[in-house]
Structure 1
């Protein structure tokens, strides 16, 4: 074999070796970059927040795995109906959609600055299965108290079928209430949840967090995932409630709800939700087959609230 051929063969061998070594280096570098990204992923999120002076409070919920739940509609037994109708200081009606509609014989006063716990102590004995509900909000514009039902010891956020809505008069006295109750719950298979910090990053990436915001805390609950199956059941997803600026007196407090399995942000506002529920309740009261002597007054009360809310929403 001539020397020129041997030289060419050596060159080809070295080229093949160089390509092999280059590919090995690139693969090793890629794996190193992936490991570095994995190690520094939280730090990267922190750096994003720090660049905007966005601070974090206690965001640990202590839950890594959880299941979605399927909840059946409630079906009242005769005994339960009797219990509801026998509640003190009120007349109650359970309509065809299993909505409890109540009118207080003697209005119950609520202190102007009462806490959720104090409100609960005041009205708890007058409400069927009150212990299944968690105080959410006192809507001062509508003068109404909102309570969300709990399942698996966690609140179900913004679901009209698991809601206690208490209406106060101009003297902050309980006059009327409507109560919907979710029935039995069944869990799906547990799934690994995204970390709370990842949910906060989703808000940041969606431009929901602003410079100098403070994320006060992250809490755990459920949110409607599939509104209604053919059986009438509903599916609720594990959900993070992320409160922003709750401790900042000079900034508006905001609550966000992020699916803890898939990461998407649920869209909800107190105003829209409460308005929609009042409109539905108005229709339910109007269609009562019973004719209690307070029916017309409650219809007028709810109608005035929907008109007030409409007028407020039209303001610039």
Structure 2
């Protein structure tokens, strides 16, 4: 037998062996899955959560089909600029063509124990098109109120171009704010909508990733998360997203079409945006008499953040 024939025979033998081992591996995985989840995926996930005493709160978001949305940056008309500059009890300017920076003539008090609805009612008269924003949280460490812009009546999670930050002074009074806005979303048609994964599947993904532990309580909300951040003309694409809240303490964001978990921006986002604002305010005209005061305030906040991070690391 020639050497070339022997070599070919060896190759075929190893190929058959590889296929056999692959089949064995897949079969073993299937058996393990069946042992862990007997009786069907959805039912067994429920059983696993019950066994771990993980409580499902409000997880019905009322959306079964949706598609991504594409949005261009906001381009303000002269009329809109006039409306912004005439807002009551403040001087508001556009540092560039897309960021509103405001300083209150008389600081607006916010009660220490105020909730999101009360806070929104208090500041709604001072913010341009405030109805298109949703309260997110009060960052007590920085004393900053955070609001996300809405599209399709749902919040855009953690996007620099769809954000309202309200800076409070030491007396919890609204003193400054920065506001970015997205423009009109491109229209969607029914043909582009896709069936979303179930909220329970998003919870199952987190459970399988060991993000949930015994006695956790889980709730689900719905919104959009950045999918593609920069296209031609500054367009952004946002994916339908489940916000999975655990014990009202931490949030996870799961793509409601593809199922992958977005990176959690909560810890670094506000810090990064304060630093971005510090740079943005440099572009305000020099004749704005409160410019330096706001720069100093934000610079102090960034220094406080650095000290807080150092203390946590120690």
The answer to whether TM tops 0.5 is: yes
Aligned pairs for 1:76-225 (under 5 A) are 76-187=76-187, 189-215=192-218, 217-225=219-227
| 2:58 counterpart of 1:58 | yes
Aligned pairs for 1:221-232 (under 5 A) are 221-232=223-234
Write the distance in 2 (CA, Å) between the matches of 1:274 and 1:50. Answer: 36
Which residue of the partner structure matches residue 241 of structure 1?
A: 243
1:283 match: secondary structure: helix
Q: Which moved more, 1:44-53 or 1:91-100?
A: 44-53
Q: What is the aligned counterpart of 2:287 among 288, 291, 298?
A: 291
In angstroms, what is the RMSD of aligned CA positions? 1.8
Which residue of the partner structure matches residue 22 of structure 2?
A: none
Write the distance in 1 (CA, Å) between the matches of 2:238 and 2:187. Answer: 10
| 2:300 counterpart of 1:304 | yes
1:142 match: secondary structure: coil
- Identify unmatched segments of 5+ residues in structure 2: 1-29
Write the distance in 2 (CA, Å) between the matches of 1:185 and 1:39. Answer: 43
Post-superposition Cα deviations, 1:133-158, rounded to whole Å, max 9, x if no partner, equal 00000001100000000000001110
Aligned residues between the structures = 276
Deviation at 1:50, TM superposition (A): 2.5
1:207 match: secondary structure: coil
The alignment's TM-score, normalised by the length of structure 1, stands at 0.84
Deviation at 1:223, TM superposition (A): 0.5
1:218 match: secondary structure: strand
CA contact (8 A) 1:68 1:187 kept: no
**Structure number, greater radius of gyration:** 1
Write the distance in 2 (CA, Å) between the matches of 1:131 and 1:302. Answer: 26
Post-superposition Cα deviations, 1:232-272, rounded to whole Å, max 9, x if no partner, equal 100000000111112xxxxxx11111110011111224331
Deviation at 1:288, TM superposition (A): 2.2
Write the distance in 2 (CA, Å) between the matches of 1:161 and 1:118. Answer: 25
The alignment's TM-score, normalised by the length of structure 2, stands at 0.84
